[in-house]
Amino acid sequence: MTTSFPVSSKLFQRAQRLIPGGVNSPVRAFRNVGMNPFYTQSANGCRLTTPDGNEFIDYVLTWGPAIFGHNDPEIRAAVHAAVDCGLGFGTNAPAEVRMAELITQTVPAVEKVRMTNSGTEATMSAIRLARGFTQRTKIVKFAGGYHGHVDSLLVKSGSGAMTFGQPDSLGVTPGTAADTFVLPYNDFDAAEKLFAERGNEIAAIIVEPFLGNIGFIMPEPGFLAKLRELTARCGALLIFDEVMTGFRISLQGTMGVHEVRPDLVCLGKIIGGGLPVGAFGGRAEIMDCLAPLGGVYQAGTFCGHPVSLAAGVAALEKLIREKSVYEKLSAFGKTLAGELTRTARERGIALQVPHCGGMFALFFNENPVRNLEQATQSDPEKAKKLFRYAIENGVFLPPSPYESCFISTAHDEAALEKTVRVLCDGLRTL
């Protein structure tokens, strides 16, 4: 089979003349898989349709939000009803209160919550709040963790675990990067050493409790508890960035899997039901430092936008109502992972397929992946070849060797059967 994209190719040519790189977010450029991007004309259930007439079973799912699949009828109806009332008000709206109730009732550690327009805004605001509350300046993040395009968090590791970070993007000043420490994920000793030497300067740790932006990596037993212990000991805050994992791993995010409770939680994606949204919340005494009650400023014209929150409220209420969602997602992921690892083993191919809830990843690696360094030791050429084979045969994986895949409740038995067949056949070609 040869999948062609004549219409998408013309759109991309036009886009490159007017948009930097032809895309509005870098991963959409498909450069990591050696091809030009396609465009999506419509999406329904677990499938995307391009203007070229191609249809794909989708494992990107808007990078996570579409937990019920694309264009869910209940969410769409909620959006239509909200639009009928107006496109925005500039005042408070009832959906803000309902969203706050849903989040505080379901997400452990969140007593109060503030809405933003994106996950990036949520993490940016949480960092500012942590600094304001603790009256400290330094932030700790982990190599491979992505927390949006905030200057102080676009930082890579220095020459050693105890060095300050180095800018990971042009336009980020060395002074900004110097306020951030970068540690290896799952490294107990490095975290202990840093806090022993610099703990009284640290305002907060920000961490994706399950890394989702370099594939999908879960914490070693006790690692998150160690971070909780270190921050509590020195008076720093622990921030969980659950923009990706919130309401996707479980109804409580990763906190439904472990017992660790952070001081602040950042959310996004699913709480917008497919529309742009973000939120951060946590202990009331910390959240009350925000204006207008406190001296930490955060604001936004579209924060708590009524249309976005109508979609998000519909999504969260449906998740609460349909309690078997996560069992279904987990069962799909377990079956897919089992078939892929079995086929890879038969072919003598090193493959790891970590999975939990509605997320999984593919690492062409001999050993389980526990951090960024090990993730980048995986074979990117095999990942690229599998991506190309999959897209030629109607399955769309993330266009990068280092991204998570997502599952929706719309991925039915037919989708599972085709995905297993296509990806296993693809493995046999490597």
List the one residue out of 217, 218, 264, 260 whose CA is nearest residue 243.
264
Ranges in the chain annotated CATH 3.90.1150.10: 6-71+324-429
Write down the pTM of the prediction.
0.96
Task: Describe the crossing of helices 223-234 and 188-198 by its angle, rounded to 10 degrees.
Answer: 0
Task: Share the mean pLDDT of the chain.
Answer: 95
Report, as an integer, the average pLDDT of 400-426: 97
Q: What is the pLDDT of residue 263?
A: 98
CA 328 – CA 348 distance, rounded (Å) = 30
List the one residue out of 283, 200, 213 whose CA is nearest residue 241.
213
Query: Which residues make Cβ contacts (< 8 Å) with residue 120, sequence separation at least 6?
Result: 147, 148, 149, 150, 278
Report, as an integer, the average pLDDT of 64-88: 98
CATH of segment(s) 73-321: 3.40.640.10
Report, as an integer, the average pLDDT of 413-421: 98
CA of residue 166 relative to chain centroid, distance: 23
What 8-state DSSP symbol labels residue 225?
A: H
Reported as a pLDDT band with limits 50, 70 and 90, residue 163 is: very low
Reported as a pLDDT band with limits 50, 70 and 90, residue 158 is: very low
Report, as an integer, the average pLDDT of 384-398: 97
The superfamily CATH assigns to domain 6-71+324-429 is Aspartate Aminotransferase, domain 1 (3.90.1150.10)
- Residues 398, 60: contact at Cβ < 8 Å? yes
241 is catalytic: yes
Report, as an integer, the average pLDDT of 126-135: 98
- Residues 279, 114: contact at Cβ < 8 Å? yes
Ranges in the chain annotated CATH 3.40.640.10: 73-321
Reported as a pLDDT band with limits 50, 70 and 90, residue 162 is: very low
CA 386 – CA 2 distance, rounded (Å) = 15
Which of these is catalytic: 72, 241, 263, 326? 241
Q: Does 142 have pLDDT greater than 90?
A: yes
Q: Does 125 have pLDDT greater than 60?
A: yes
User: What values do phi and psi take at 55, rounded to 5?
Assistant: -125, 135
3-state SS record for 303-330: CCCHHHHHHHHHHHHHHHHCCCHHHHHH
Reported as a pLDDT band with limits 50, 70 and 90, residue 173 is: confident
Q: Give residue-wise pLDDT tens across range 189-237.
A: 999 999 999 999 999 999 999 999 999 999 999 999 999 999 999 999 9
CA 184 – CA 162 distance, rounded (Å) = 11
Q: What is the pLDDT of residue 321?
A: 97
Q: Where are the beta strands (DSSP E) in 161-222?
A: 166-167, 180-183, 202-207
Q: What is the pLDDT of residue 167?
A: 74
146 is catalytic: yes
Reported as a pLDDT band with limits 50, 70 and 90, residue 164 is: low
Residue 276: how many CB atoms within 10 A of its CB?
18
Sign of the Cα pseudo-torsion (394, 399, 404, 410, in order): negative
Reported as a pLDDT band with limits 50, 70 and 90, residue 322 is: very high
Report, as an integer, the average pLDDT of 78-96: 97
If one compares 266 and 176, the residue with the highest pLDDT of the two is 266
Which of these is catalytic: 59, 112, 146, 179? 146
Element of type H or E holding 251: none
Q: What is the pLDDT of residue 170?
A: 85
What 8-state DSSP symbol labels residue 52?
A: T
Q: What is the pLDDT of residue 178?
A: 87
Report, as an integer, the average pLDDT of 278-287: 98
Report, as an integer, the average pLDDT of 3-16: 96
297 is catalytic: no
Which of these is catalytic: 112, 138, 269, 385? 269
